[in-house]
Amino acid sequence: MITSRTVSSLEKIFHDSEPTCASLSEMSMLGNERASFQLAYFSDEDTHCGISVSGWKPENMKIYKVVEINSDMPAYEDSDFYFLRKAPGLYPDMLEPVEDGTFLVEKGHYGSIWIELDASGESAGKHDLFVTVSKGKETVTNVITVDVIPAKLPAQELMCTMWFHCDCLATYYKVDVFSEEHWRIIENYVKNAAAHGINFILTPLFTPPLDTEVGGERPTVQLVDVKKTKDGYEFGFDRLDRWIDMCKRCGIKYFEMSHLFTQWGAEHAPKIIAEVDGEEKRIFGWETDADSAEYCDFLRRFAAALTAFIDKKGIRNFCRFHVSDEPSLEQYETYKKRADIIAEIFPGFKVIDALSDIEFFDKGAVKYPIPSEDHVEDFVGKVDEIWTYYCCGQHNKDVPNRFFAMPSARNRILGALLYKYNAVGFLQWGYNFWYSQFSKHEIDPFTVTDAGKAFPSGDAFVVYPGENGQPLNSLRLKVFYDGLQDFAAMRLLESLVGREKALEIIVRDDEFSFLKYPHGSSYLIALRERVNQAIKENI
């Protein structure tokens, strides 16, 4: 016997726990939006079931089975209480496409089917969807009403990056870096990222000096060719040119040039490979002091050549540069020296970095800082552009994040908060980081989800490696994108009624900041319905 009911996409259904959440009988979405709901089910036997949905065009719908994935470290010991559970075990996360209309259910297990709707091509108005699960002659049908509002989300204005790790793709799929097969796989993953609101991509001019053990190396992924000559250096941009064209074709708008100094202090140069006397050699790396005359000379020559290339491509206004990731205040003087160099050699370009101490801004080391969510308030009213990020460190102050063990509402609320703060951009470090901490060795992301018990599961990646070089998405990425769509819907509402009125509708009398906001799925569902109905009334 199969029992089932429709529930929100914000619920996480665990195999060992009967869901107590409310059923979902109706929802609304805008005319070009993607929205999801789930069919929660329980079976008293091991069997294959059929799944079908009528009332919506098949080409505008995707059906997935939510698959539980192992977590050895769901949370740190000092994490806050806004978690679903904290014990190691299985957590609902990966979305496995249901391609033949059937899925396996296990005896005594709860589970869910994820149904994603695309309103493009559907008529405005209410649609009754009939979701039927069948086993032989036994069928169970649930009905959900979807109201398609005759308005469209505006183009995404928010700049959004989740760091794209080309080397992880080459390592997992066992292909040569920038071979044709690698390029094919990269494009699949870039296209998927862009389809989920990631419009700003980490671009490896040189191998990004990120999450690398001091003295260690990540596989070389360098888009720029360098040749050392008697007179200096020659630079080739063929691969970078291909990268930019490919990314734009996939829907990427902005290019995040990789860091030109090492992480956590800017003390060394990144790994740079060059042709020297006909052989490829590492000419800079951990052995290179960041302020060495040779490296500074290289940077100046490189900056001139790269700037000319960027201007030829017409993407100057769509590029951002980095100095070093996450410097501490103790490293201020070192960082400031490197930042001054970058400002000098890339005049007119915006330089952004993840750092959370306001003194970096107050003292002039950075004009466009990216503080973590729990430090955003320090920057409000001071900086020209509000950015923020989260990583494993944002786990103990109730701020938004995306760990396996967190409620999906904690993931999705980010979009509304970014709107409230009138944010320009968001950064996260892991779209597909499939290595252990410090990139010491590769991991199997289907079984090791915490970078070797370094980061709580969910911090390091939001996609899994599928067959034929295709990504498998997590429900966390879908929920994150729902938050970006919330942001866009709020911008649409603002265009109709003004920002002040929009904020009244969105925030009401609730306390609404990164550190304190209403928790729970029902709050978010009601919030988005208020926005949708206000749009409907004012179009």
Q: What is the reported pLDDT for 509?
A: 82
Residue 501: inside a domain: no
CA distances 299 to 161, 308, 352, 538, Å, are: 25, 14, 18, 53
Does one domain contain both 133 and 234?
A: no
Residue 114: inside a domain: yes
Q: Is there a contact between 479 and 9 (Cβ–Cβ < 8 Å)?
A: yes
Cα–Cα nearest to 129, from 141, 113, 137: 141
Residue 247: inside a domain: yes
User: Which amino acid makes up residue 10?
Assistant: L
Q: What is the reported pLDDT for 224?
A: 99
Tokens 């017409």: give the residue: 314
CATH number, domain with residue 35: 2.60.40.10
Predicted confidence (pLDDT) per residue in 195-242, tens digit? 999 999 999 999 999 999 999 999 999 999 999 999 999 999 999 999
Q: Is there a contact between 512 and 414 (Cβ–Cβ < 8 Å)?
A: no
Cα–Cα nearest to 112, from 171, 63, 69, 178: 63
State the DSSP code for 287. T
Does one domain contain both 214 and 350?
A: yes
Q: How far apart are CA 439 and CA 69, in angstroms?
A: 22
Task: Please give the model's pTM, rounded to 2 decimal places.
Answer: 0.98
Residue 338: inside a domain: yes
**Other C-beta atoms lying within 10 Å of the C-beta of residue 467:** 6
Q: How far apart are CA 324 and CA 263, in angstroms?
A: 5
CATH number, domain with residue 202: 3.20.20
Structure tokens at 158: 């928010």
Q: Which residues contact 92 (CB under 8 A, 6 or more apart)?
A: 12, 13, 14, 66, 67, 68, 69, 112, 475
Residue 439: inside a domain: yes
Residue 390: inside a domain: yes
Q: Is there a contact between 480 and 431 (Cβ–Cβ < 8 Å)?
A: no
**Beta strands 125-135; 387-389: pairing state:** unpaired
pLDDT at 136 over 90: no
Predicted confidence (pLDDT) per residue in 420-452, tens digit? 999 999 999 999 999 999 999 999 999 999 999
Q: Which residues contact 312 (CB under 8 A, 6 or more apart)?
A: none
Does one domain contain both 175 and 134?
A: no
Q: How far apart are CA 391 and CA 253, in angstroms?
A: 24
Predicted confidence (pLDDT) per residue in 279-334, tens digit? 999 999 999 999 999 999 999 999 999 999 999 999 999 999 999 999 999 999 99
User: Which amino acid makes up residue 379?
Assistant: F
Structure tokens at 482: 């729902």
Cα–Cα nearest to 213, from 41, 518, 440, 500: 440
- Counting the structural domains of the chain, the total is 2
Does one domain contain both 177 and 270?
A: yes
Question: To the nearest whole percent, how much of the chain has pLDDT over 90?
Answer: 98
Domain span at residue 249 reads 159-404+425-455
Mean pLDDT on 44-50? 94
Does one domain contain both 136 and 203?
A: no
